[in-house]
């Protein structure tokens, strides 16, 4: 089996040498180059065509976000973000890079880690990323992300919604690898004034998930916040509520519960945990969508919702960064509809406004 070819992009010479040593120690990886700034990263990626990039965010000449955007638009390559940035502004840059097509994020070593633990995580993340067949991202994505959402909220707030009797009462979305950009696209496609609570589970490593809800809140026409323990579902109507990092989100007796239960599919929060609680609690009153991501989390939960009579949607292969979770859902027969990303937001909005008709088509 051929080795995965790695390009390392890091402005700190000390950290770059460490990353190079870790990669060179693994017999499944080949270090093909190293760069200290974003502009050189683009040049070397174009010349060397590596299988995976290890990318810092804070780079001279051209930032990691700008380099990621250019690479994913012109010669798509799996990118693993390796960053020590945990303040709000720098976390937002990490989310921008993920939305531009980077596939995962890993914390940068601090020098206090025990043994080879960090190196093992780094190598595993590089190998996982190298296996992903990424898709081209339009260069305009980050320009769109730069637009504020306050105007969209104001313009859409008066949009009337006609919700017939028997329509769904809650919507939910699960996503993993490739999820940040997909969620932005979906929430922007759902008009302001969407009347239902919209619950989201996204797999993102701690501590990088800390400000994701705030980032998403600023980019879409919808108010987005992390769930609060014991908050009633009814208070979330017309809002987007996310599972916080490291906690399962469960709906029980009409209230949100945040738990430290066992991981499902190595994930906490788990999409299956939320979806299964919604199937049990809300039955046919649920709209659920399963988006791009590696593994199978969410597939069984989506099947539970379909069996309970809810509306179920899976993202199609062509628009998924990783066609793992949606594929598992399709194989289980969990998805009543398999849609390209641009059609998922409108389908959720239509189901919320005409739920009985949507369920009839399913």
| Catalytic residue list | 176, 203, 297
**Is the Cβ–Cβ distance between 169 and 161 less than 8 Å?**
no
- CA dist., res. 324 & res. 141, Å (int): 23
CA distance 212 to 218: 10
| CA separation for the pair 77, 134 (Å, rounded) | 6
Whether the CB-CB separation of 311 and 288 falls below 8 Å is answered with yes
> At a CB cut-off of 8 Å and minimum separation 6, what does 78 contact?
51, 52, 53, 103, 129, 130, 132, 134
| Residues 325 and 290 sit within 8 Å (Cβ to Cβ) | yes
Dihedral of CA 115/210/179/229: which sign? positive
Hey, is 240 helix, strand or coil? strand
Q: Which of 46, 101, 26 is nearest to 69 (CA)?
A: 101
Where do runs of H (alpha helix) occur along the chain?
13-24, 38-48, 64-74, 88-99, 117-130, 140-145, 150-156, 179-189, 212-217, 271-282, 299-307, 325-332, 341-353, 355-361
DSSP classification of residue 135: -
Helix (H, G, I), strand (E, B) or coil at 91: helix
């Amino acid at each position: 089996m051929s080795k995965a070819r790695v390009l390392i992009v890091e402005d700190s010479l000390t950290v770059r040498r460490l990353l190079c040593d870790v990669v060179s120690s693994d017999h499944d990886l080949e270090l093909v180059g190293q760069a200290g700034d974003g502009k050189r990263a683009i040049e070397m990626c174009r010349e060397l065509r590596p299988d995976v990039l290890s990318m810092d965010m804070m780079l001279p000449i051209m930032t990691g976000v700008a380099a990621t955007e250019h690479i994913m638009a012109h010669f798509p390559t799996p990118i693993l973000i390796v960053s020590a940035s945990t303040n709000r502004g720098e976390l937002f840059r990490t989310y921008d890079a993920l939305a531009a097509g980077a596939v995962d994020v890993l914390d940068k070593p601090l020098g206090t880690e025990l043994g080879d633990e960090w190196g093992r995580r780094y190598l595993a993340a590089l190998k996982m990323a190298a296996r992903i067949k990424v898709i081209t991202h339009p260069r305009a994505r980050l320009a769109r992300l730069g637009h504020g959402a306050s105007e969209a909220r104001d313009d859409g707030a008066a949009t009337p919604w006609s919700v017939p009797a028997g329509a769904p009462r809650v919507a939910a979305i699960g996503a993993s690898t490739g999820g940040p950009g997909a969620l932005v696209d979906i929430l922007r496609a759902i008009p302001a004034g969407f009347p239902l609570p919209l619950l989201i589970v996204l797999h993102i490593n701690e501590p990088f998930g800390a400000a994701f809800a705030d980032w998403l809140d600023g980019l879409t026409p919808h108010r987005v916040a992390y769930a609060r323990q014991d908050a009633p579902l009814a208070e979330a109507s017309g809002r987007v509520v996310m599972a916080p990092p490291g906690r399962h989100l469960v709906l029980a007796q009409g209230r949100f519960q945040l738990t430290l239960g066992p991981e499902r599919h190595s994930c906490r929060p788990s999409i299956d945990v939320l979806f299964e609680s919604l199937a049990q609690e809300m039955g046919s009153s649920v709209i659920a969508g399963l988006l791009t991501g590696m593994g199978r989390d969410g597939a069984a939960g989506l099947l539970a919702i379909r069996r309970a009579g809810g509306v179920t949607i899976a993202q199609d292969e062509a628009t998924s960064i990783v066609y793992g979770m949606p594929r598992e859902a399709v194989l289980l027969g969990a998805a009543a509809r398999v849609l390209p990303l641009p059609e998922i937001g409108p389908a959720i909005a239509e189901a919320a406004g005409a739920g009985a008709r949507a369920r009839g088509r399913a």
